[in-house]
């Protein structure tokens, strides 16, 4: 199958600096103070993508199980690190996030392989798994950040419920529902407009690679629904585990200020 997309030359790539200078100029003009952050993020992203290109080339040359295992471990570890930063102060949060992302990713991959949606090859499993892991990371980060905010702002309601004899689970039920809902909203909204407002990344890449649009759509449906399921599961599981740490062994609400560690989990 022929590749429709033209090869992008190094000279053409160098002109991408224009897309970086636009937000830098806007930041400078409006005194946002983000110039250094924008430049550093752009440079870091560029270097990371170049490096990962060579890494993937190497991994694709290895035996399937070895290459896939190495890359999945790296992706899950990095995703867990970044997502868990939103839950700073919650005990064992990094281990919890790592286990949840690992579990959800393995379940999704097993589904793909069981129903022969993809082959067990690095060039298929790694890119698709990366999208699932990345979106799960974002959802978990949103859930943890929202949960800390909800427990801080809703402490009065929780204390009132506890004083009336409610268990920690019942007292925090509404807050937990809000957290899970908030973490799912971006993907729900994305599914509503998929294919109408934008052509998703995977579908676009396949079409540029010469794949027939209808075949590209099949793969996009697979990855979109897989991401939606993984995001929902990840946010729900992490929230249901983590909220318990906001209560101590005597079922009392534990408050946490910036930089402190919760001591709940009872």
Q: What is the pLDDT along the chain (266 residues), one digit of tens a residue?
A: 444 456 778 888 888 899 999 999 999 999 999 999 999 999 999 999 999 999 999 999 999 999 999 999 999 999 999 999 999 999 999 999 999 999 999 999 999 999 999 999 999 999 999 999 999 999 999 999 999 999 999 999 999 999 999 999 999 999 999 999 998 888 888 888 887 776 777 888 888 888 898 998 999 999 999 999 999 999 999 999 999 999 998 899 987 654 456 655 55
Q: How far is CA 1 from the centre of its chain?
A: 33
Domain housing 120:
64-246
- Backbone region of residue 88 per phi and psi (left: phi > 0; alpha: psi in -120 to 50; beta: other values): beta
Residues 150, 129 contacting (CB under 8 angstroms): no
54, 178: one domain: no
Domain boundary (28, 43, 61) is at: 61
79, 43: one domain: no
In a domain, 199, yes or no: yes
pTM of the model: 0.85
Query: Buried b vs exposed e over 236-262: b needs ≥16 C-beta within 10 Å?
Result: bbbbebbbbbbbeeeeebbebeeeeeb
55, 165: one domain: no
Rounded distance between C-alpha atoms, residue 24 and residue 215, angstroms: 39
Q: Into how many domains does the chain fold?
A: 2
């Amino acid at each position: 199958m022929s590749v429709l997309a033209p090869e992008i030359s190094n000279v053409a790539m160098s002109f991408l600096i224009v897309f970086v200078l636009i937000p830098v100029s806007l930041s400078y003009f409006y005194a946002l103070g983000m110039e250094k952050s924008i430049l550093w993020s752009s440079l870091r992203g560029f270097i990371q993508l170049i490096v990962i290109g060579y890494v993937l080339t190497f991994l694709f040359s290895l035996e399937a199980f070895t290459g896939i295992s190495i890359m999945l471990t790296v992706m899950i570890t990095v995703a867990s690190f970044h997502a868990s930063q939103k839950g700073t102060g919650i005990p064992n949060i990094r281990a919890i996030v790592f286990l949840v992302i690992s579990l959800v990713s393995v379940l999704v991959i097993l589904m793909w392989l069981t129903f022969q949606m993809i082959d067990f090859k690095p060039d298929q499993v790694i890119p698709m798994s990366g999208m699932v892991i990345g979106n799960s990371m974002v959802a978990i980060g949103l859930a943890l950040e929202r949960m800390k905010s909800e427990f801080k702002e809703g402490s009065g309601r929780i204390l009132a419920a506890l004083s009336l004899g409610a268990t920690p689970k019942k007292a925090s039920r509404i807050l937990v529902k809000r957290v899970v809902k908030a973490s799912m909203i971006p993907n729900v909204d994305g599914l509503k407009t998929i294919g109408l407002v934008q052509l998703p990344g995977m579908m676009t890449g396949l079409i540029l690679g010469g794949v027939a649009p209808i075949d590209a759509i099949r793969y996009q449906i697979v990855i979109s629904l897989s991401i939606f399921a993984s995001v929902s599961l990840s946010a729900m599981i992490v929230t249901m585990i983590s909220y318990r740490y906001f209560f101590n062994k005597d079922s009392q609400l534990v408050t946490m200020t910036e930089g402190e560690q919760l001591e709940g989990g009872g």
